[in-house]
């Protein structure tokens, strides 16, 4: 292969890409020049990084990471703080992970002569984004942008009045480059009406006003609790879809 696209997201790791980098030959060394044998917890003893043993088959291969979040590796919006709790880390562990990745990125920045720990997307998939950006000089593109380009999405929008998108939960985190926002950006560009259907939503009016979303529809509502919605998810989704259709018919169809 001469060009490899790596899709990032939904990982269970939070190691800054250390695991996959070790697999391709990168050596993480302690003060004695010995290779670290543990996982992310061993990074507190990291002193040097050897990149001369990277698998020779990767020479001349270009990498592109498909990434739909813009979180950096470290800091208040970094991989550990934003996504750590989703992977089982408590507050103390989250702070430890962020400190470990901060130390790791300082060593890597010095060795690689770059400073990408705060680069948007470096925190994707527990920091695997950082590994590709810093060590393999990967290009970065929105995953949804890659898909929509392959689908000729913009061409379809030329004759489209209404675009419907959504995800499990639509909230402030959705705005950090996730797939629905990619769809919304294209739809807004072509002046389409935009509906979002989600399992649950947060701050509907704020999100609608800030991002020119015409209407947010949540399956979970005052009429339907979370527990009720999962008893029969198909019927719950269909009921919400009917509400969206009725709303469009009432307020948009004859404009």
Digit-coded pLDDT (tens) for 129-144? 999 999 999 999 988 8
Clarify whether residues 74 and 177 are in a common domain: no
Clarify whether residues 132 and 152 are in a common domain: no
Lowest mean pLDDT among 37-41, 163-167, 230-234: 230-234
- Could you tell me how many helices (H) and strands (E) the chain has, helices first? 10, 10
- For residue range 37-96, list pLDDT tens digits in order: 999 999 999 999 999 999 999 999 999 999 888 899 999 999 999 999 888 899 999 999
- For residue range 149-163, list pLDDT tens digits in order: 989 999 999 999 999
Clarify whether residues 149 and 236 are in a common domain: yes
Task: Report which of 241, 116, 144, 247 is spatially closest to residue 193, judged by C-alpha positions.
Answer: 247
Clarify whether residues 56 and 164 are in a common domain: no
Clarify whether residues 153 and 222 are in a common domain: yes
Cross-strand partners of 7:
66
Kindly state the percentage of the chain with pLDDT values over 70: 98
Clarify whether residues 24 and 122 are in a common domain: yes
Residues 6+ apart with CB under 8 A from 183: 144, 148, 153, 163, 165
Q: How far is CA 109 from CA 91, 183, 195, 241, 255, in A?
A: 27, 35, 43, 49, 56
CATH of the domain at 21: 3.90.1510.10
At 145, is the pLDDT very low, low, confident or very high (cuts 50, 70, 90)?
confident
Domain boundary among 125, 141, 157: 141
Indicate whether 255 pLDDT > 60. Answer: no
Give 206-221 as a DSSP string. Answer: HHHHHTT-SEEEESSS
Domain boundary among 89, 107, 141: 141
Domain boundary among 82, 114, 141: 141
CA separation for the pair 156, 135 (Å, rounded): 38
Clarify whether residues 232 and 217 are in a common domain: yes
Clarify whether residues 163 and 126 are in a common domain: no
Task: Report which of 90, 117, 138, 109 is spatially closest to residue 16, judged by C-alpha positions.
Answer: 117
Highest mean pLDDT among 7-16, 103-112, 136-145: 103-112
Clarify whether residues 8 and 131 are in a common domain: yes
The pLDDT mean for the chain works out to 93
Clarify whether residues 8 and 127 are in a common domain: yes
At 177, is the pLDDT very low, low, confident or very high (cuts 50, 70, 90)?
low
Segments forming the whole domain that contains residue 167 = 143-251
Clarify whether residues 212 and 111 are in a common domain: no
Clarify whether residues 95 and 38 are in a common domain: yes
pLDDT at residue number 169? 86
Q: How far is CA 72 from CA 32, 89, 141, 152, 211, in A?
A: 31, 18, 15, 30, 23
Into how many domains does the chain fold? 2
CA separation for the pair 135, 184 (Å, rounded): 33
């Amino acid at each position: 292969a001469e060009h490899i696209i790596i899709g990032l997201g939904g990982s269970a790791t939070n190691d800054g890409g250390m695991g996959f980098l070790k697999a391709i030959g990168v050596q993480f060394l302690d003060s004695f020049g010995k290779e670290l044998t543990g996982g992310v917890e061993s990074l507190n003893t990291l002193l040097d990084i050897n990149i001369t043993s990277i698998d020779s088959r990767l020479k001349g291969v270009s990498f592109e990471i498909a990434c739909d979040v813009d979180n950096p590796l470290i800091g208040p919006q970094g991989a550990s703080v934003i996504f750590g709790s989703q992977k089982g880390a408590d507050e103390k562990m989250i702070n430890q992970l962020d400190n470990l990745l901060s130390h790791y990125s300082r060593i890597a920045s010095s060795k690689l002569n770059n400073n990408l720990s705060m680069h948007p997307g470096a925190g994707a998939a527990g920091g695997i984004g950082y590994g590709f950006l810093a060590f393999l000089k990967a290009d970065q593109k929105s995953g949804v942008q890659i898909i929509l380009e392959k689908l000729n999405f913009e061409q379809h929008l030329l004759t489209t009045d209404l675009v419907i998108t959504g995800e499990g939960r639509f909230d402030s985190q959705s705005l950090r480059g996730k797939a629905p926002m990619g769809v919304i950006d294209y739809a807004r560009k072509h002046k389409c009406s935009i509906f979002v259907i989600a399992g649950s939503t947060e701050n509907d009016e704020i999100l609608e006003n800030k991002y020119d979303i015409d209407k947010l529809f949540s399956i979970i509502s005052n009429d339907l609790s979370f527990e009720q919605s999962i008893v029969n998810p198909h019927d719950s989704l269909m009921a919400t879809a009917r509400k969206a259709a009725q709303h469009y018919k009432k307020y948009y169809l004859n404009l």
